[in-house]
Structure 1
Amino acid sequence: MSNWVLNHGLSALVIVVWLGINIFLFVYYFHFYEYNTEFYYTRQITGSALAWARAPAACLNFNCLLILLPVCRNLLSFLRGSCVCCRCSARKQLDKNITFHKLVAYMIALHTVIHIVAHLFNFERFNDSQQSTGQTLDAVLSRVGNNDSKWLNPIRSNETTPSYITFTTIAGLTGVIITLALIVMITSSTDTIRRSYFEVFWFTHHLFVIFFAGLVIHGIGRIVRQQTEESMEVHDFLFCQNRTADWGSIAECPIPTFRGGAPMTWKWVLAPMILYVFERLLRLYRSQQSVVITKTVVHPSKVLELQLQMKNFKMEVGQYIFINCPSISQLEWHPFTLTSAPEDDCFSVHIRSAGDWTDSMFETFGGDKFERLKQIQPRISVDGPFGTASEDAFHYEVSVLIGAGIGVTPFASVLKSIWYKYENSDAGLKTKKIYFFWICRETQAFEWFSDLLRSLESNMEQLGKPDFLNYKLFLTGWDSAQAVHFKVHFDKETDVVTGLKQKTHYGRPNWDKEFHLIAQAHPKTTIGVFLCGPQPLAKALEQCTNKYSEINPLGVHFHFNKENF
């Protein structure tokens, strides 16, 4: 339980505060519109539907203020750098930005549904009141101000229908547009579409521009009306509400006048919109900087390595960049973890061919076509770098790095940087031990990374630190012919798959066993666990971090961190 609090306590507190603000805003504005006297006559037509429409509108303003902040990557990287002296548990909240972005989106969807349903009731009641020819209070109120701007009922003639109002007024039309935009954005953000049709998700998500534009002008029509202050001073609704026949004929009951409330949404969303515009301008500026491709390497398993140089490019271990290749697609930007170390002369990425865009990148830069195009080199644009959880790998005395497949890339950067630090006798390095696990399906996938591990093996031995790096490679897929080959060469001094001294393990890791051994080897230690891999693996590892952390504050504690893009 104590480790759960360490890993998730701050996140839980953020969620509780966020939910608390939503509940407060909903209750406060529901009470405001349900009981305030200036809305008394409005409620005579709409009933409680007025409060049910306006309370979620206030929550929508608050959540629309938040929705853009988690996707301002430069802001998050700046905050991560500014919080370098904060505890890792505080900094890693920034790595949950996409999760929070989704939660805010779901809250926006919930309040949108409540807001729309309540307004449907409002417009039906407005229509019924307008159609009434009697002297009931709601019918009389519907006829007030029909020939001027002091009306209460937006449906001001018997021929006007709620549908007509919906598609001809600013409030109605923008409401339809932003609702459709929200539906498309949310449905195209499901895991199935995002993973299988990333371009669909990417392009439809930019409907947020239309969503925010419609949101800002949604209240300009001032559909929700209230009695004016001047009218309330001379027209006491407690006295006049039952004397509608005397309205305008006696001094105590002049005809009431009404006005619409001023639009408020722009006050909530203006600051994050400006911030996001600056974010996009900064990305645009960086994307125009010249990027030089110094080297391309084709690795097994259709993995392409690009070594790049860019003026004033500064990085930290484990960070990632976005890459665009205009000759493939003018608009598509894809994230890739940097596999180089900050000490390298250039920065590099490894791109696995696993989709239309990556296939095109592999063909363009990894084959004969690139040899032919060397004189006219395809242009590359880079945006970044941006911070991730792996930046904190050096903030622990013991770090556990776990990569699945191409998910090894952030840890290539970490391991390279360690080599440089020890080569330069960096005594300030806090990390004393690293455990590295790499899980792959194919033997070929190990080839491009085994050179780095082999170099680390020999260099750590020369530096007198042979136990600094403990690594285990796991092969989860092989055929019968390979199995026989592994068995025959099992007694060789080096591994038959990688050529390393550490032998490859076959099958999946027993995480309970691994965590138990690590916990025994490092009592009274805070250990950072870093994963770049699929969600099911993340759940299993998170369970182990909680299981093998001690309740005693001075005991061993595992802090779980997962890469998120």
Structure 2
Amino acid sequence: MGNFVANEGLSIFVILVWLGINAFLFVHFYMAFLVDRWFYTRVLLGQALSWARAPAACLNFNCMLILLPVCRNLLSFLRGSIQFCSRTAARQLDRNLTFHKLVAYMIAFHTAVHIIAHLFNFEFFMDAQLNRNSSFLPFVLSEIGTDDNASFLNPIRSNETNPTIVMFTTIAGVTGVVITLALILIITSSMEVIRRSYFEVFWYTHHLFIIFFIGLVFHGYGRIVRGQTAGSQQTNKPHLCADRFEDWGKNESDCAVPEFAGNPPGTWKWVLGPMILYVCERLVRIYRSHQKVVITKVVMHPSKTLELQMRKKGFHMEVGQYVFIQCPSVSRHEWHPFTLTSAPEEDYFSAHIRIVGDWTQALYEACGGDKTETQEAWKLPKVAIDGPFGTASEDVFRYEVVMLVGAGIGVTPFASILKSVWYKRIQNNQEVFTKKLLGWSVITSFTD
């Protein structure tokens, strides 16, 4: 139990804090739409108003988080900064994709709640407009602002329309449809079976997040959900005037016709910072991708495994790190992650690539893997490298006893570690903190 708490305690704490913030935002904004300002809006919509706005607040929070776990340069920087303070804290950064997926699931959940609530809202708006009875308060509220008055409450301005038309003729409706479609495509194409069998589908559809965020920022500019203005609450107190709506605006009445306005859009305040960070992240990647990489050696291993040995000016790595590789002659837009199998002490860096898909097969053929004769160096394809990026394996030499467990191509991180051990202990006679390393049913002792 003690080991579990030591290893997983911080992760559980982070998840609980994240869930707690989501719960707080949901409850807080649910209650915020039960105050007097939204009294007349609730006359039309009932509790569906709060059920639409509460998940919207949670969506803002989670959309703020979704980009941060995929800012790999930022995570590598943070990992290098905090690993001297706490190995436990540094290890949390290695679970970035797990957290990214959890946030995506939360976005999908709140999106579903938000959409369902707004479907009810549009039906309620339409019902209030169709029931043309002047003794019916929802209809009276729906008629406010018919003379091109910006102070309307019901966005459905005529009984000759329907929610579908409103959905495709308003900013909120159009952006909502675009956001939902983009999200559905992103999530469905992210399933493991799609990623492994049709990586290109996953890769390209995942970039719909650009459209998703653009739509998200502009979604609130239509200000469809409107509440009573502060000034109007002084001249038309809802609890006093709601039952006297026949006298609104008359000379002898102390209840003026209520005025309404929508909240200013605020999603951009949540997502602007992460969007700027992500843009900087992509600019760094673009800069790195244009730095010259030279393939010094190509080795064809059994079981169709390709080894690329490369050099790049200013490239520095640690054991267990990984890079993203792009081959423009294969695809100008696809970047694939591969663990570095070379040691930091070597004058080159290498990656072992198992041929398991269309992209790796094309790279294999471009490097001459399907030819019997030796490939000339000038015929080798150009490649671009982004990285290296950190993993938990970087901390291997901070432990006295290390166990390496891997299978198949999954053993590649350990090649870098074992090579580095050999250079440190055998060639350079350098002391290392690690005394025992276990893996692949082999025990190597460094005690003496």
TM-score grouping bracket, smaller chain normalisation: over 0.9
**Offset at 1:303?**
1.3
| Cα deviation digits, residues 294-324 of structure 1 (max 9, x gap) | 1111111111111100011111100000001
Determine if contact 2:289/2:384 at 8 Å carries over to the other structure. yes
| 1:377 alignment partner AA | L
After TM superposition, the structure 1 = structure 2 runs for residues 350-499 of structure 1, keeping only pairs within 5 Å, are 350-367=352-369, 368=371, 371=374, 374-422=377-425, 423-427=427-431, 429-437=432-440, 467-468=445-446
Determine if contact 1:364/1:370 at 8 Å carries over to the other structure. no
Determine if contact 1:363/1:369 at 8 Å carries over to the other structure. no
Determine if contact 2:319/2:413 at 8 Å carries over to the other structure. yes
| 2:320 alignment partner AA | G
Which residue is equivalent to 1:295? 297
| 2:429 alignment partner AA | S
After TM superposition, the structure 1 = structure 2 runs for residues 139-538 of structure 1, keeping only pairs within 5 Å, are 139-147=139-147, 148-250=149-251, 251-367=253-369, 368=371, 371=374, 374-422=377-425, 423-427=427-431, 429-437=432-440, 467-468=445-446
| Cα deviation digits, residues 511-562 of structure 1 (max 9, x gap) | xxxxxxxxxxxxxxxxxxxxxxxxxxxxxxxxxxxxxxxxxxxxxxxxxxxx
SS in structure 2 opposite 1:400? Answer: strand
Which residue is equivalent to 1:63? 62
Identity of aligned residues (%): 62
| Cα deviation digits, residues 454-481 of structure 1 (max 9, x gap) | xxx9xxxxxxxx7339xxxxxxxxxxxx
Determine if contact 1:53/1:119 at 8 Å carries over to the other structure. yes
| 2:15 alignment partner AA | I
| Cα deviation digits, residues 27-81 of structure 1 (max 9, x gap) | 00001102x1110110010001000000000000000000011111111111110
Task: Tell me how far apart the structure 2 counterparts of residues 362 and 257 of structure 1 sit (CA, whole Å).
Answer: 68
Which residue is equivalent to 1:130? 129
**Offset at 1:340?**
0.7
Task: Tell me how far apart the structure 2 counterparts of residues 243 and 84 of structure 1 sit (CA, whole Å).
Answer: 67
Which residue is equivalent to 2:10? 10
Task: Tell me how far apart the structure 1 counterparts of residues 300 and 260 of structure 2 sit (CA, whole Å).
Answer: 72
Relative distance call for 1:369 and 1:185 in structure 2 (3 A) is farther
Task: Tell me how far apart the structure 2 counterparts of residues 198 and 5 of structure 1 sit (CA, whole Å).
Answer: 37
Task: Tell me how far apart the structure 1 counterparts of residues 372 and 167 of structure 2 sit (CA, whole Å).
Answer: 56
Which residue is equivalent to 1:486? none
**Offset at 1:236?**
1.7
Task: Tell me how far apart the structure 2 counterparts of residues 199 and 114 of structure 1 sit (CA, whole Å).
Answer: 31
Which residue is equivalent to 1:113? 112
| Cα deviation digits, residues 227-252 of structure 1 (max 9, x gap) | 11111121222221111111111351
Determine if contact 2:309/2:350 at 8 Å carries over to the other structure. yes
Task: Tell me how far apart the structure 2 counterparts of residues 380 and 18 of structure 1 sit (CA, whole Å).
Answer: 40
Determine if contact 2:367/2:375 at 8 Å carries over to the other structure. no
SS in structure 2 opposite 1:294? Answer: strand
**Offset at 1:426?**
2.0
Which residue is equivalent to 1:101? 100
Which residue is equivalent to 1:543? none
Relative distance call for 1:405 and 1:280 in structure 2 (3 A) is same
SS in structure 2 opposite 1:14? Answer: helix
**Offset at 1:4?**
1.4
SS in structure 1 opposite 2:405? Answer: strand
| 2:383 alignment partner AA | I
Task: Tell me how far apart the structure 2 counterparts of residues 369 and 171 of structure 1 sit (CA, whole Å).
Answer: 61
Relative to the length of structure 1, the TM-score reads: 0.76
Determine if contact 2:83/2:89 at 8 Å carries over to the other structure. no
Task: Tell me how far apart the structure 2 counterparts of residues 363 and 386 of structure 1 sit (CA, whole Å).
Answer: 27
Relative distance call for 1:372 and 1:304 in structure 2 (3 A) is closer
| 1:421 alignment partner AA | K
Which residue is equivalent to 1:28? 28
| 2:55 alignment partner AA | P
| Cα deviation digits, residues 192-222 of structure 1 (max 9, x gap) | 1111111111111111001001000000000
SS in structure 1 opposite 2:310? Answer: strand
Task: Tell me how far apart the structure 2 counterparts of residues 467 and 78 of structure 1 sit (CA, whole Å).
Answer: 33
Task: Tell me how far apart the structure 2 counterparts of residues 50 and 133 of structure 1 sit (CA, whole Å).
Answer: 22
**Offset at 1:371?**
4.3
Task: Tell me how far apart the structure 2 counterparts of residues 301 and 244 of structure 1 sit (CA, whole Å).
Answer: 81
| 2:131 alignment partner AA | S
| 1:180 alignment partner AA | L
**Offset at 1:153?**
0.2
**Offset at 1:373?**
5.2
Deviates more, 1:84-93 or 1:288-297: 84-93
Task: Tell me how far apart the structure 1 counterparts of residues 83 and 166 of structure 2 sit (CA, whole Å).
Answer: 54
SS in structure 2 opposite 1:86? Answer: coil
Determine if contact 1:298/1:366 at 8 Å carries over to the other structure. no
SS in structure 1 opposite 2:338? Answer: strand
Structure 2 unmatched ranges of 5 or more: none
Task: Tell me how far apart the structure 2 counterparts of residues 372 and 85 of structure 1 sit (CA, whole Å).
Answer: 45
Determine if contact 1:399/1:431 at 8 Å carries over to the other structure. yes
- Runs of 4 or more consecutive aligned structure 1 residues displaced over 4 Å after TM superposition: 369-373
Relative to the length of structure 2, the TM-score reads: 0.96
**Offset at 1:287?**
0.4
Task: Tell me how far apart the structure 2 counterparts of residues 273 and 96 of structure 1 sit (CA, whole Å).
Answer: 21
Determine if contact 2:366/2:380 at 8 Å carries over to the other structure. no
Which residue is equivalent to 1:551? none
Task: Tell me how far apart the structure 1 counterparts of residues 156 and 150 of structure 2 sit (CA, whole Å).
Answer: 13
Task: Tell me how far apart the structure 2 counterparts of residues 417 and 366 of structure 1 sit (CA, whole Å).
Answer: 30
Deviates more, 1:360-369 or 1:346-355: 360-369
Determine if contact 1:227/1:256 at 8 Å carries over to the other structure. yes
| Cα deviation digits, residues 164-206 of structure 1 (max 9, x gap) | 1101100001001100111111111111111111111111111
**Offset at 1:374?**
3.0
Structure 1 unmatched ranges of 5 or more: 439-452, 458-465, 470-565
